[in-house]
Structure 1
Amino acid sequence: MGGTRPAAKAGSWYIGDKEQLDAQLDGFFSRIPDAVTELPLPISGARIVIAPWGADAEAADDRHAGYDYSGKCAAWAYSCLDLTKAKRVFLLGPSHTLALSGCAVSTFDKYATPFGDFKVDRQTVERIKETGEMQDMPQRNEIREHSLEMHLPLLYKSCQRALGSTENFPTIVPIIVGDNDLEEEGEVGKVLLPYLREEENAFIISSDFCHWGPNYSYTVYSADASLARLTTLRSHDAAPAGPPIYESIGWLDKSAMDAVESGKHEAFVNNLKRTRNTVCGRHPIGVAMAGLELLAKEADDGNKHRFRVVRYERSSEVTKPNDMSVSYVSAYAVL
């Protein structure tokens, strides 16, 4: 179909003015230390990151939308990301606008940002579509979908920092990951494996973590870090007598983050089955973990090719069952 996907959320979910957006993102990056986990930034070989995009504004009355909440956390992931050899960047995000099984690829030639356009690597998109038996994302749904768009201004800034001229910028490969089970995620991981091997490819996995509150139909509570007994609070209930709700949310997220850091795809899937944690990008993360687990087996290196969490934040500290919160995580893996 071709054409340019507009920056549909610019001016509403994030700042649309180029200079103001530039200043905001510069402010986020300026707060990041020079080294993370004792490694200088960007981390050499860290070609894949998990980064938040900001919560669903329609579900949260705009209170958690955009970069005011997620941007500060996302800057940690993008500061770790090594783009020095990048020729293309794969963007994997969840679908919010289309009931989707399997995966869908972009039909656009370019993605617009307030800073400039990214070219879509049509050749790679078509190759992946054929290999993975993926479908085309209808353009009307792709324009409405925000899980990839929210990353592009941050990616643009990161490319400027790493590569300078836009002539050196990588192309992008946008992929929307649908509601897949363990085996289906594993099959997509196999499709991505050849690209994970190549140092000219980088990957951005789009996900927020726990969406807690009545608007998200998730009010699970645990009175201790073991998560041995999970209860569901009702919006009219009194605040629990035990630890505050935000501590429980932290334990739920810590359990999911530990599973991500384990490098075991099945452990992550099983964790979310047990806790029902509302990690919106569970399927893009699952696909990435499946591919990384295969890569680790090839390299016979259990420590490499595993995500390392570098930042965790929440939009608010929930104390009452009718409050809301969204959690944000940044992580990287060295390939």
Structure 2
Amino acid sequence: MGTSSSSHPSTSAAALLSRRSASARSSSGESGARGGGRDQKLSSSRGSSEYVRRAHHAGSWYDSSSSVLDSQLSEYLRDASDDRGTEGGSARAPGMVGRPRALVSPHAGFRYSGPTAAYAYLALREALSLRRGEGRPMTIVVLHPSHHVRLDGCAVSGATVLETPIANLNVDSSLRSELLSTGDFLTMDRHIDEAEHSGEMQYPYIAKAIVDAAQGRGGGDRDNAISECRVLPIMVGALGTSAERRYGRIMAPFLSRSDVFTVVSSDFCHWGRRFGYVPNGEGSPIRHNDIADYIEWLDRQGMEQIEMQQPGAFADYLRKYSNTICGRHPIGVWLHAVTANQEAGTESVDVKFVQYAQSGRVKSMDESSVSYASAVARMSTSGGKN
């Protein structure tokens, strides 16, 4: 759970490529594990050469066939919509009425986390169905963790295009330039970008939401919709709490723009010896029937802090329980951006988790599981200018 006291990305220790242990690998993508060794450096350049990012995990973590993948995601979205009894396929928790502004989604292989992610992506599809100028996102920022490099800051993708089997997504080079001009962001190279799955697992769902929303607006031009809406992936390193706050405040004015939507990529508890995390319920104030119940209780303690938009309390929770939430740093940065915008009076949101699942129900110390949770942030009706 490494942290860094540095507030700027340093040249000498910008990032180090790690090899996951063989026991943590999963070609089917139950989980991306949690980091590892150190043997290569990510370039500290703030303007590396551009590239087309290939769909590196297609064919293993998700289907490489456009028609098969589209059908699979359609089924997940339909099932999520039917389950929530949502009108028009939106993802609304009770009491939430504002337009969608952000989501939290898991990033395991779709056979594991795809059904859970669908509950969050209903909200993006809803937002993209709005008219242009009335809150429809034109840029989608993806905040994702780093599983393979040591990074003490944040790094933007250097890609111009993100390939997916559904449709290729254009990168928002203008917003990237704005962030790079602050001097606080590094640029990923192609190797680092393509190796990281936590951003990539969001791209097919983003493409699917864009295409479906265009069709829902009355048979809109699919290619034009894909061309108009741009994406900017941002890798968030192993930041200390002060650095999370700093980066959250840097990003806050960008994320509060009415045409920017935020996707936060994170799995939740990685339980089991292969993840080096095997608490069995000690310290819990309630009795649990099995380990799976304890894991859910543990996850929901953190989910509650996220819903309450309390980055400090979320950090305290992580220190207390050491829960293996691999997207804890992207979540922390996003929460600080949310609170900064609320304090500035530029935007206020309500955050609710809309679905939770586990890859398997653990009952013995010899088993393992990964938790998946989806959340949606909507404009609060009680405040905010946006």
TM-score, normalization by structure 1: 0.87
Q: Which whole-Å CA distance do the structure 2 matches of 1:35 and 1:134 have between them?
A: 41
Do structure 1's residue 163 and structure 2's residue 214 form an aligned pair?
Answer: yes
Q: Which whole-Å CA distance do the structure 1 matches of 2:329 and 2:85 have between them?
A: 27
Q: Which whole-Å CA distance do the structure 2 matches of 1:20 and 1:248 have between them?
A: 36
Q: Is the 8 Å Cα contact of residues 10 and 16 (structure 1) preserved in structure 2?
A: yes
Matched residue, 2:112: 69
Q: Is the 8 Å Cα contact of residues 47 and 202 (structure 1) preserved in structure 2?
A: yes
Matched residue, 2:19: none
Do structure 1's residue 333 and structure 2's residue 384 form an aligned pair?
Answer: no
Q: Is the 8 Å Cα contact of residues 121 and 205 (structure 2) preserved in structure 1?
A: yes
Consecutive unaligned residues of structure 2, counting only runs of 5 or more, are: 1-48, 93-97, 131-135, 216-221, 380-386
Report matched runs for 1:194-209 at 5 Å. Answer: 194-209=253-268
Matched residue, 1:288: 334
Q: Is the 8 Å Cα contact of residues 105 and 136 (structure 1) preserved in structure 2?
A: yes
Single out whichever of 250-259 and 125-134 deviates more from structure 2. Answer: 125-134
Count of aligned pairs: 309
> Quick one: percent identity of the two aligned structures?
31
Q: Which whole-Å CA distance do the structure 2 matches of 1:102 and 1:186 have between them?
A: 12
- For residues 114-167 of structure 1, the C-alpha deviation after alignment (integer angstroms, 9 at most, x for no partner) is 122111111211211222511111221111111111111111111112234231
Counterpart residue type for residue 260 of structure 1? I
Matched residue, 2:3: none
Consecutive unaligned residues of structure 1, counting only runs of 5 or more, are: 55-65, 228-240
Single out whichever of 187-196 and 14-23 deviates more from structure 2. Answer: 187-196
Do structure 1's residue 45 and structure 2's residue 99 form an aligned pair?
Answer: yes
Single out whichever of 42-51 and 20-29 deviates more from structure 2. Answer: 42-51
Do structure 1's residue 175 and structure 2's residue 234 form an aligned pair?
Answer: yes
Q: 2:295 aligns with which of 249, 257, 272?
A: 249
Cα shift at 1:221: 1.9
Q: Is the 8 Å Cα contact of residues 224 and 243 (structure 1) preserved in structure 2?
A: no
Q: Is the 8 Å Cα contact of residues 80 and 332 (structure 1) preserved in structure 2?
A: yes
Q: 1:151 aligns with which of 197, 202, 219?
A: 202
Q: Is the 8 Å Cα contact of residues 292 and 306 (structure 1) preserved in structure 2?
A: no
TM-score, normalization by structure 2: 0.76
- For residues 74-113 of structure 1, the C-alpha deviation after alignment (integer angstroms, 9 at most, x for no partner) is 0000002222311110011000121111101111111100
Matched residue, 1:25: 73
Q: CA 1:272–1:73 in structure 2 vs 1: closer, same or farther (change >3 Å)?
A: same
- For residues 271-323 of structure 1, the C-alpha deviation after alignment (integer angstroms, 9 at most, x for no partner) is 0110000000000000110000112223398xx42421110100100000110
Counterpart residue type for residue 79 of structure 1? L
Q: Which whole-Å CA distance do the structure 2 matches of 1:334 and 1:24 have between them?
A: 27
Q: 2:368 aligns with which of 299, 317, 324?
A: 324
Query: Which secondary structure does the structure 2 equivalent of 1:278 belong to?
Result: coil
Q: Which whole-Å CA distance do the structure 2 matches of 1:21 and 1:39 have between them?
A: 24
Cα shift at 1:327: 0.3
Q: Is the 8 Å Cα contact of residues 260 and 268 (structure 1) preserved in structure 2?
A: yes
Counterpart residue type for residue 328 of structure 1? Y
Counterpart residue type for residue 250 of structure 1? E
Matched residue, 2:317: 271
